[in-house]
Structures are given as C-alpha cells and as structure tokens.
C-alpha cells in the first residue's frame, strides 16, 4: 500500500544515526491513517533521538494534529528537517521538533483552515464554528514553538504567509538555517493546492519539463529481446518488457509504449494518484487510450478530494465512493454521451 510517510530504523551497528521519518506526500492520503503512523512509530521501540524530514504541502488537519502530538509527547529528542516545503498542516507537524532546521532555500507556509461545506444556514454557521476551533488548535501548536502571541499567529495565518528560512527563524518557527539544498526537492509538491503563491515560489514548485522521446536507430525493425528490455529499463518501466516480448514489436512500438506509460505516470502524479499508475499503464497496454487513463486518474482524484479535503475534514458527512469503480463508471458515462 502507498504511504505518505516512511519510517526507517537506525542501521544495525550504526548508533550515530537515529531513526528517520520521511513525510514527503499529502498527509492522511492513500487510506493510511494517523493510527498507522502511531503503530509504526511505536514499532521502533525505545529510542533517544528521532529525525523527521518534511517536504509536504499539507493534508488532513486532524491527522496532522495527531502526528504533531505524537511527536511532541515522544520521549526522544526530535529534530525536524524541512527539506523543501512544510506547508499547511505539515508546518504544524514541524512545530513538534525540539530543533527545527531549514535549508536556506526551504519554505514554510501557514494559513487559515478551510473546507468545502454545503447545507442550510445553520449547517454553514456550525461549519464556521468548527473552523474557528480548528484554528485555535493550530495556533496553540505554533505558539508552543514560536512563543509568539496568539494575535500575531492568527494574523500570519489569515494573510496566508510564506516564510523563507531566515524569516521563519526570526519569527521562531525554526531554530537553525543550514546550507541551501537542490531545488528539485520542491518539485514533489503540487502548487495547485495553494492560493496566494508568490511567483518565485510557484517557479520552484513547477514540475520539470518532460523528458525527450527515446531515440532509436531502426524504428521499423522488429526489436530484439535485449533491446526491448534495455529500453524499458532505461525509461523506468521494466514491467512493460514482458508484454512487448509476446509480439513482434518494432523499436517504434517500444518507444510509443514507453511514451504512453510516461504520460499516464505523469498524469497520476499530477492528480496525486501515483498508486493508480501501474494498473492504468497496464490497461493502456491492453487497449485503453491514454486520454481515458488520464481521465480515470482525474476522476479518482476528484472523488478522493470530496471525502479528504486539504487541511480539513467535514463533520457528519457520509463516506464518499472512491477509486477505480466510480472513476471508471464516470468516464464510461461521458464516453457514451
């Protein structure tokens, strides 16, 4: 199962390296909960030091608060390293660090909680009240690290404030500014989920340009098995090899299949559904069009976002249908029109 975090225990015989927790995705997604995180953290056993590395734009608010509290109450000394971005609820998790480090070109982003709500006027007033209480919880987490007053923190949140490492240090959000890191760390974060993104930050968050098509010497000549395997492996899709070996695929066929796989993989990443990439690539190899595969990933992302709202949760809502079945049905209905 895909996870939005990874916990690596200290290597055997290396007592100098503490266990490391990587939070490099949308917090609370893929059906992985804060309880799963707590169980994995507990499985580390007694440790005296923990390193938490963050490059995340945020996620589910209550999952993030739970993780902040788990780390804050842990007996180990917690060092948080913001590798690229700690945005939204990820910035709250960062506040659990006894020491928070930011490379000179890393960013921290705070903002007011929000959610999508509907219903009667009473429902909307109730939702607003819940958001007010959530904001108080977030302010408490920021206050515990920064020692800023509640009014100042609330002002920063309302302004949707982006902070550089030096600005974060001045305000108390981080303790140590380290050397700048490779800017490609930022490309793992989707900028479309934010509002009021400064142009310089948007440029950092922009995905890299697509790789150029693979060049082949004899595009119309049936490809040899070794060439097929080499091309697929070099492109990062070794799973395509078996299907291409069953027919008389030419080099052009291999290149086209790889390009299709790359388009589907990129779409799944763009729609934050990388868990669907392998199956959709296999479906395209079996005859599904690339456009249809991308549409399925898009629909699945939309269905997920109906029930998992960035940095919030909806009270008294029914679970939403999610994943393959509903996405495929929606695409089929559109195709039939």
- 173 and 239 share one domain: no
Q: Per the domain annotation, does 278 fall within a domain?
A: yes
130-139, 180-189, 244-253, 256-265: which has the highest mean pLDDT?
Answer: 130-139
Q: Read off the tokens for 313.
A: 């949760």
Question: pTM of this prediction?
Answer: 0.62
In 10 A of CB 208, how many CB atoms? 7
User: Do 159 and 74 fall within a single domain?
Assistant: yes
Q: Phi, psi (5° rounding) for residue 99? A: -130, 130
CA 28 to chain CA centroid, nearest Å: 9
234 and 135 in a common domain: no
Q: What is the mean pLDDT of residues 22-51?
A: 87
233 has a pLDDT exceeding 80: yes
> CA–CA separation, 262 vs 231, rounded Å?
13
Pairing between β-strand 99-103 and β-strand 176-178 as defined by DSSP bridges: parallel
Question: Stretch 173-183: mean pLDDT, rounded?
Answer: 86
On whether both 292 and 324 belong to a single domain, the answer is yes
144 occurs within a structural domain: yes
Give me the pLDDT at residue 320, please.
40
Q: Mean pLDDT: which of 56-65, 73-82, 285-294 is highest?
A: 73-82
Indicate if 47 and 191 belong to the same structural domain: yes
The answer, yes or no, to whether residue 323 has pLDDT greater than 70, is no
Residue 210: inside a domain, yes or no?
no
Establish if 44 belongs to a structural domain: yes
pLDDT at 312: 43
Residue of 162, 202, 178, 192 whose CA lies nearest to 26 = 192
* pLDDT band for position 303 (cuts 50, 70, 90): low
Q: Are residues 40 and 149 in the same domain?
A: yes
Would 326 be classed as within a structural domain?
yes
Contact in structure between 126 and 116 (CB atoms under 8 Å): no
Say if residue 87 is in the same domain as residue 189: yes
What residues make up the domain containing 257?
225-336
Same domain, 237 and 179: no
DSSP notation for 211-271: PPPPP-S-TTSBPPHHHHHHHHHHHT-GGGHHHHHTTT-BHHHHHHHHHHHHHHHHHHHHT
Mean pLDDT in the chain? Answer: 79
Kindly state whether residue 297 falls inside one of the protein's structural domains.
yes
Write down the pLDDT at residue 186.
55
pLDDT given for residue 305 in this prediction: 46
| Residues forming beta bridges with residue 222, ordered by sequence position | 250
Number of structural domains in the chain: 2
Return all residues near 317 (Cβ < 8 A) that are at least 6 apart. 307
The reported pLDDT for the residue numbered 81 is 96
**Reported confidence tier of residue 222, pLDDT bands at 50, 70, 90:** low
- Tell whether 214 is covered by a domain: no
Do 146 and 108 touch, CB atoms closer than 8 A? no
Kindly report the length of the chain. 337
The percentage of the chain sitting over the pLDDT mark of 70, rounded to a whole number, equals 72
**Could you tell me where the DSSP H helices lie in 56-198?**
61-73, 89-94, 121-146, 150-158, 165-171
Which positions ≥6 away from 242 have C-beta within 8 Å?
none
Final residue before a domain boundary, out of 170, 205, 240: 205
**Same domain membership, residue 34 and residue 167:** yes
Q: What is the CATH number of the domain that holds 181?
A: 3.90.226.10
Q: Residues 212, 199, 169, CA angle at the centre, nearest 5°? A: 115
The most confident of the ranges 127-131, 163-167, 201-205 is: 163-167
Q: Would you say 22 and 53 are in contact if contact means Cβ atoms under 8 Å apart?
A: yes
**What gap in Å lies between CA 304 and CA 319, rounded to an integer?**
10
One domain for residues 267 and 235: yes
Q: Is 213 a domain residue?
A: no
> Which pLDDT band holds residue 17 (cuts at 50, 70, 90)?
confident
Q: What is the pLDDT of residue 87?
A: 92
The answer on 83 and 24 residing in a single domain is: yes
Contact 273, 323 (CB under 8 A): no
**Worst-scoring range by mean pLDDT, 1-15, 88-102, 281-295?**
1-15
Together in a domain, 69 and 199: yes
* Last residue of one domain, picked from the residues 205, 235, 260: 205
Report the C-alpha gap between 272 and 267 in whole angstroms.
8
The region of weakest confidence among 82-86, 171-175, 230-234, 259-263 is: 230-234
Asked if residue 28 lies in contact with residue 3, where contact means CB atoms within 8 angstroms, the answer is no
CA distance 135 to 143: 12
Helix (H) or strand (E) holding 7: strand 5-8
- Average pLDDT of span 215-225: 58
Task: Give me the residue label for tokens 């890299």.
Answer: 208
């Amino acid at each position: 199962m895909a996870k939005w975090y990874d916990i690596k225990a200290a290597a055997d015989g290396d007592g100098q390296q503490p266990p490391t927790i990587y939070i490099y995705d949308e917090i609370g997604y893929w059906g992985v909960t804060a309880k799963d995180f707590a169980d994995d953290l507990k499985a580390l056993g007694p440790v005296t030091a923990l390193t938490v590395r963050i490059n995340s734009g945020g996620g589910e608010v209550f999952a993030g608060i739970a993780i902040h509290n788990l780390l804050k109450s842990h007996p180990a000394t917690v060092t948080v390293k913001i590798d690229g971005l700690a945005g939204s609820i990820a910035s709250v998790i960062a506040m659990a660090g006894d020491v928070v480090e930011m490379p000179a070109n890393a960013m921290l982003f705070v903002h007011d909680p929000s959610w999508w709500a509907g219903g009667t006027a009473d429902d909307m007033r109730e939702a607003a009240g819940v958001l007010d209480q959530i904001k108080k919880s977030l302010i408490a987490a920021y206050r515990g690290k920064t020692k800023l007053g509640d009014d100042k923190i609330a002002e920063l949140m309302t302004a949707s404030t982006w902070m550089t490492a030096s600005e974060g240090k001045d305000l108390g959000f981080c303790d140590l500014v380290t050397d700048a890191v490779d800017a490609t760390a930022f490309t793992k974060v989707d900028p479309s989920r934010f509002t009021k993104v400064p142009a310089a930050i948007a440029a950092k968050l922009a995905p890299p340009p697509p790789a150029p098509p693979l060049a082949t010497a004899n595009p119309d000549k049936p490809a040899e098995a070794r060439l097929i395997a080499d091309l697929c492996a070099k492109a990062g899709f070794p799973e395509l090899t078996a299907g291409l070996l069953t027919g008389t695929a030419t080099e052009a066929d291999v290149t086209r299949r790889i390009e299709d796989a790359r388009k589907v993989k990129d779409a799944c990443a763009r729609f934050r559904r990388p868990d669907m990439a392998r199956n959709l690539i296999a479906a395209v190899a079996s005859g599904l069009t690339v456009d249809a595969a991308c549409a399925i990933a898009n629909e699945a992302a939309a269905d997920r976002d109906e029930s998992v709202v960035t940095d919030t949760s909806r009270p008294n809502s029914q679970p939403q249908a999610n994943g393959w079945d509903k996405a495929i049905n929606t695409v089929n209905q559109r195709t039939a029109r």
